[in-house]
Amino acid sequence: MPPRLAAPKTKTATGPPQALVARIQHLGDLLRHLPTSLADYPSHSLYNLALDPERLKDGGYFSAVGHALEISFQTHLLQIQNRPLLFIERGRRHDDLVKLLKMGVKQMSPSERTSFQEAWIEWLITAAVDSGAKIPSKKRKAPVDDIAVPPAKRQQSLSAFSWAKATPESTGLYWAKAKQDGAELRGQLLETRKKKAETQHEREKDLARLRKQRQRERDKARKDDEEPAGRDANTVLMEGAEAVTHSTDISDIAALSRANTQGWKKNRNGTLGSVVRGSTTKVFWFTPFLWAIIEPTIRRCGWSAARTVNELHCAHPNLFNGPNHKLHRATVWKWIVPGEQRFTDAALRSISARSSLGGSGRTGVLTWYPEIV
């Protein structure tokens, strides 16, 4: 008997399926046909298609590629802003995106490829279509045998289309009507420009009036802050002496501003399993003896954080410009609503509570029990 031949071994496919590659190629075709109204390869782009080495090491290509796409398309803001995923630019960066997707799915496992296609590739295809991408259809060329040759026709004159030669009367009427329409259009344009100029003039007058009003208010506030005239020398000397008396150095402003926390911290002496608590280092600026100086200064400085801090540093350096208790401009800026002359809701809650409501776990635990408070 002749020897039996062994069946050839079939090579197991390890690459991504052809259907998945076709979907990625379809996405690339859509991205190449995005609307021309989008920015073409802008210099400042949000796309960051670089893979994080730590993500790649811990979670593989499935986690690294997904993380890069989340950063590029800012998916964390889509649900907050209630808007769909859209492409905002076109150009060569989309070629890099397609290359990244092909390389990523090649290194993923079969289950990861299925999840990645459902989570990202189909989502990106939908986003490209929603962004206006449209692949032009290819027109099929008809065979030469199917082309019907139309019979030869005799050339027709313009009279066959009910066209007649213009007469002098019709020509005169046409140009008279065109002249009248042009005069009406010019009149409308002049009227529109006149109204626009009047509106701009009124707006400039209102802005000048508002600037003058604000200047008068600043002058009045500055005049009220000036020292009253007619004071004698003894009054000036007494005020100077009182200022020197109150300018003594206060060593621990932070502890004074958080006096209600000093009692329980003393009991944390390390015995019975407790942890020794250090001294307070952060100043609570909403405490009454500091806020009574800060609030009128903010209003007097026109709700400007920089002017407020400069005035407090100059007027009360021992309270607001010490080596361990310095009030910064950024701190005051967080208390004020941008563009408005009022405090934020968080600042008002801290002012009314006279204690910090956020941060440690002990502060504000009785907020939900006003009867106990």
**Residue 361 pLDDT:** 47
| Max CA pair span of the chain | 136
- Among the listed residues 77, 50, 76, the one whose alpha carbon sits nearest the alpha carbon of residue 65: 50
Beta bridge mates, 40: 90
Q: How far is CA 191 from the centre of its chain?
A: 41
- The per-residue pLDDT string of the chain (373 residues; one tens digit each, 9 = 90 and over) reads 445 545 445 545 578 899 999 999 999 999 999 998 888 888 888 787 888 888 888 889 999 898 888 888 888 888 888 888 888 888 888 888 899 899 999 999 999 999 998 889 999 999 899 988 888 887 666 555 555 555 556 666 666 666 777 788 888 888 898 889 999 999 999 999 999 999 999 999 999 999 999 999 999 888 887 755 555 545 544 454 444 334 445 556 777 776 665 555 555 655 555 555 566 678 888 888 788 899 999 999 999 999 999 999 998 888 888 877 788 889 899 999 998 889 999 888 888 876 655 444 454 577 677 777 7
Taking the C-alpha atoms of residue 372 and residue 244, their distance in angstroms, rounded to an integer, is: 43
* DSSP-derived 3-state class of residue 336: strand
Rg (CA), the chain: 39
Distance (Å, whole) CA 149 – CA 43: 54
Contact between 68 and 51 under an 8 Å Cβ cutoff? The reply is yes
Q: What is the pLDDT of residues 280-321, one digit of tens each?
A: 678 888 888 788 899 999 999 999 999 999 999 998 888 888
Separation CA 64–CA 51 (nearest Å): 6
**Listed residue (5, 88, 99, 112) closest to 50, CA to CA:** 99
Q: Residue 152: left (phi > 0), alpha (psi -120 to 50), or beta?
A: beta
Can you give the residue ranges of every domain in the chain?
Answer: 18-130, 172-226, 256-353
Query: Contact at 8 Å (CB) between 283 and 254?
Result: yes
| Residue 212 main-chain phi, psi, to 5 deg | -65, -40
| Predicted local distance difference test score (pLDDT) of residue 247 | 43
pLDDT at 284: 82
Structure tokens at 21: 């590659």
The pTM of the full predicted model, rounded to 2 decimals, is: 0.37
**25's tokens:** 């190629």
Reference 332, options 353, 290, 303; nearest CA is: 303
